[in-house]
Chain A
Amino acid sequence: MKAFIRAIEYHLPETVLSNAQLSAEFPGWSVEKIEEKTGISERRISAPGEFASDLGVSAVRRLFESGVCQPSEIDFILYCTQSPDYYLPTTACLLQERLSIPTTAGALDFNLGCSGYIYGLGLAKGLVETGQARNLLLVTAETYSKFIYPEDRSVRTLFGDGAAATLIQAAHSPVDCLGPFVYGTDGRGAGNLIVPSGGLRHPLRNRASDIIEDENGNRRTPDSLYMNGAEIFSFSLQAVPDVVHQALERASCSINEVDLFVFHQANHYMLEHLRRKLKIPPEKFVFALDKVGNTVSSTIPIALKQVQADQRLRKGQKVLLVGFGVGYSWGAAFIRWEV
């Protein structure tokens, strides 16, 4: 049996944060400058009281409503988030109950950011191809906006909230539809994209006196998201070309033999540079962050869904997915699109 992606759906919260709103809040940052540097015109922000699991539930319901499968058929839930509802229990257990998935299903959370979709597909392949699951839900959901200090434009301009649900099924196929996979990890970069407080090591402080202002005028507290953009760029410019070449070598194929490249949608400026560096033709390279921003682990499935809708993604195509970011953690996976 081979695991393959049967369907993808995604859900975004209603509230829109536009560049015009950001420009009004941060004088000196024009609408045009924000769009030029990020490739993002708007992003969605979850409401107070609306959490990543709520977005995930909506994405999965959309999948069920499309008719590809019923809740009763799901036998495994993989939930990727860095915005869990609780320290415990596992959010995937809450999803099982809310979505009326059978109690015979397995369910687990895993904590990864921008590389999460690649790891999720790798786990799904293992579970499905060893016969442990036949209809697996991979749910990616994130609400970074809840970690972001309102006066930190460095991250407010980039990140958007959202969730995606991917149905992975078993099929009789002579060829692999998921893989090969390549992974990478370098914990030395942990401090460059981090929410310093709020875990057990440094409990949430909630002190206004903790507000710090960096050399660029961005303000934040240790309870909020910190990103060293320059270090993240340096990491990405090195890690992504390396992992792409490793994946191509593992699959014994060249860039010319790949139909589509879907990278984690970090920002347009970085992606365009990576595209040129790797000599990937523009028509094979996907940008899908204009209206959603960087939705962390959901950028790749959202991009896949968008290119499927645009009919750029078609049955039989070979696609290379690349995720990279917080951790540092990265990974690449080939998929063969089968629907």
Chain B
Amino acid sequence: MNITEFCALLAKVVNEEPVAISPDTTLSSLPGWDSVGVVMWIVEVDEIFGVTLQAKQIAGCKTARDLAVLLGDRILA
């Protein structure tokens, strides 16, 4: 998955338009990135990538790019 597709996936989870999120988008600026949004992200990533993220890993992320970094080379720049 490339970074644009990754941002579109995040947008789907937080109920935003696909173009609304770029790698530099600050997560705290997204109304849908609340406790429910984080849980939905964990589930989505588990389902698509087979990776179970820990909440504390996500808590350390400030931008969409930071979230992508957690998935390593599964996300192409």
Contact = CB atoms under 8 A, between A and B. Distances in A.
Interface of A: 37, 154, 216, 218, 228-231, 233-234, 237-238, 269-270, 273, 276-277
A237 B54 CA distance: 10
Interface of B: 34-36, 38-40, 42-43, 46-47, 52-56, 58
Nearest to B15: A33
Contacts of B54: 231, 234
A230 B35 contact: yes
Interface centre among A218, A233, A238 (most CB of B within 10 A): A233
Nearest to A230: B55
A216 B35 contact: yes
A270 B43 contact: yes
Contacts, number: 43
A218 B55 CA distance: 18
- Main secondary structure on chain B at its contact with chain A? helix
B61 to A, nearest CB: 12
B35 A233 contact: no
Contacts of B36: 37, 229
Contacts of A237: 42-43, 46, 52
The 4 closest A-B pairs by CB, nearest first: A230-B55, A231-B55, A216-B35, A230-B38
B60 to A, nearest CB: 13
Nearest to B34: A216
Interface centre among B40, B46, B58 (most CB of A within 10 A): B46
A277 B35 contact: no
19 contacts: A37-B36, A218-B35, A229-B39, A230-B38, A230-B39, A230-B42, A230-B58, A231-B54, A231-B55, A233-B39, A233-B42, A237-B46, A238-B52, A269-B39, A269-B40, A273-B43, A273-B46, A277-B46, A277-B47
Contacts of A37: 36
A231 B35 CA distance: 11
Given A270-B43, A273-B46, A276-B47, A234 B52 contact: yes
Nearest to A157: B36
Nearest to A227: B35
A104 B34 CA distance: 54
A91 B28 CA distance: 47
A228 B43 contact: no
Given A234-B52, A277-B47, 7 more contacts: A230-B35, A230-B39, A231-B56, A234-B53, A237-B43, A269-B39, A269-B40
A51 to B, nearest CB: 30
Nearest to B53: A234
Nearest to B54: A234
A233 B47 contact: no
Interface centre among A37, A230, A238, A276 (most CB of B within 10 A): A230
Nearest to A231: B55
B47 A234 contact: no
B10 to A, nearest CB: 15
Contacts of B46: 237, 273, 277
A276 B47 CA distance: 9
Given A216-B34, A230-B35, A273 B55 contact: no
Nearest to B41: A230
B72 to A, nearest CB: 18
A237 B53 CA distance: 10
A218 B35 CA distance: 10
A233 B35 CA distance: 11
A37 B37 CA distance: 10
B19 to A, nearest CB: 24
B39 to A, nearest CB: 5
